């Protein structure tokens, strides 16, 4: 017979039970990781598995290459003209290690774009860049462009026509739009780009608007509309904000810190009232 445990030793605990979090009901309103509950002193297994899946999806979104050919075909099918270009980063691995290369064009790409510069400088140029989530481009770019076209004020329907094609750029950072806009003579450039994935948002799209794009522009000279996706800022709401900023940028001759986002409280003539989120 084994000897009894000395009285000063702790008794081994029994099986841990799952303890729910009192904030559980709030999870209906957000994808943020709140009210996970606990099992003993640990995260419940189901939540650990969900975290692993979200982390894998975020990694995949960064690594996955954009199917630029398919995107251009989809643009053409909906009546938009497109033009391809690429940053100076030769591949995805270099792009991730050298952000500076993603912000500029290689010399041959600059020359190729200059040969396509239209006779009349485009008033507004749209650039679609893969950024850090090609998944965001695949899921959000076309729906956003449709919303932009559907809500365009009178006289703004020329986006994506032959004289101002939509430029599809691979291995792109936001500032690449400055060089593209400068090469094509655009007065304003809007860059639609995949944002850095979060653990609940691997497909979030950002839109950056810059007036008089040129090499050397800083982030302080552009406006950003972020988190464009059905679970964040809707395509229709983002399109409204986009046109509000375009019209105000023309009126104030500025983008960036000089142009404050008052789109929720100051509707503009010809644009209508703010759309619901």
Instruction: Say how far apart CA 134 and CA 202 lie, in whole Å.
Output: 9
Task: Give the CATH number, domain containing residue 210.
Answer: 3.40.50.11240
Please check the confidence at residue 158 and state whether its pLDDT lies above 70: no
What is the overall mean pLDDT for the chain? 88
The 10s digit of each residue's pLDDT in 26-84 is 777 777 777 788 888 888 888 888 888 888 888 888 888 899 999 999 999 999 999 99
Residue 30 forms part of a structural domain = no
Q: Tell me the Ramachandran region of residue 118: left when phi exceeds 0, alpha when psi lies from -120 to 50, beta otherwise.
A: beta
The 10s digit of each residue's pLDDT in 185-199 is 999 999 999 999 888
Please check the confidence at residue 157 and state whether its pLDDT lies above 70: no
> Which pLDDT belongs to residue 9?
55
Residue 40 forms part of a structural domain = no
Instruction: Say how far apart CA 203 and CA 205 lie, in whole Å.
Output: 7
- Check the annotation: does 174 bind a ligand: yes
Tokens of 65: 């290459």
Would you call 194 helix, strand, or coil by DSSP? Answer: strand
Residue 217 forms part of a structural domain = yes
Chain centroid offset of residue 37 CA? 31
Instruction: Say how far apart CA 276 and CA 233 lie, in whole Å.
Output: 10
Residue 74 is part of which domain span? 62-258
Structural domain count of the chain: 1
The 10s digit of each residue's pLDDT in 110-143 is 999 999 998 889 999 999 999 999 999 999 999 9
Residue 17 forms part of a structural domain = no
Tokens of 63: 């690594």
Residue 227 forms part of a structural domain = yes
Residue 26 forms part of a structural domain = no
Ranges assigned E (strand) in 197-252? 205-211, 222-228
Instruction: Say how far apart CA 174 and CA 99 lie, in whole Å.
Output: 10
Residue 57 forms part of a structural domain = no
Assess contact for 122 and 113: CB atoms under 8 A. Answer: no
Residue 265 forms part of a structural domain = no
- Check the annotation: does 72 bind a ligand: no
């Amino acid at each position: 017979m084994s000897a009894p445990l000395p009285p000063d030793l702790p008794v081994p605990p029994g099986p841990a039970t799952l303890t729910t979090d009192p904030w559980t009901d709030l999870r209906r309103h957000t994808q943020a990781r709140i009210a996970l509950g606990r099992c003993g002193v640990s995260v419940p297994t189901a939540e650990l598995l969900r975290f692993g899946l979200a982390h894998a999806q975020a990694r995949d979104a960064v690594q996955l290459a954009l199917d630029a050919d398919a995107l251009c075909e989809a643009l053409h099918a909906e009546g938009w003209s497109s033009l391809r270009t690429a940053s100076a980063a030769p591949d995805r691995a270099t792009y991730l290690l050298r952000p500076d290369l993603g912000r500029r064009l290689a010399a041959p790409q600059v020359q190729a774009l200059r040969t396509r510069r239209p006779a009349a400088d485009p008033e507004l140029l749209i650039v679609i860049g893969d950024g850090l989530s090609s998944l965001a481009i695949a899921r959000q770019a076309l729906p956003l462009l449709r919303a932009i076209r559907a809500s365009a004020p009178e006289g703004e329907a020329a986006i994506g026509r032959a004289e101002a094609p939509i430029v599809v750029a691979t291995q792109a950072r936001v500032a690449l739009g400055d060089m593209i806009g400068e090469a094509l003579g655009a007065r304003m450039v809007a860059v639609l780009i995949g944002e850095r994935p979060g653990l609940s948002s691997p497909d979030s799209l950002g839109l950056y608007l810059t007036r008089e794009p040129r090499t050397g522009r800083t982030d302080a000279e552009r406006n950003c509309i972020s988190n464009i996706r059905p679970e964040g800022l809707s395509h229709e709401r983002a399109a409204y904000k986009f046109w509000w900023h375009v019209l105000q940028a023309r009126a104030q001759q500025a983008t960036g810190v000089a142009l404050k986002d008052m789109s929720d409280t100051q509707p503009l003539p010809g644009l209508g009232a703010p759309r619901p989120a």
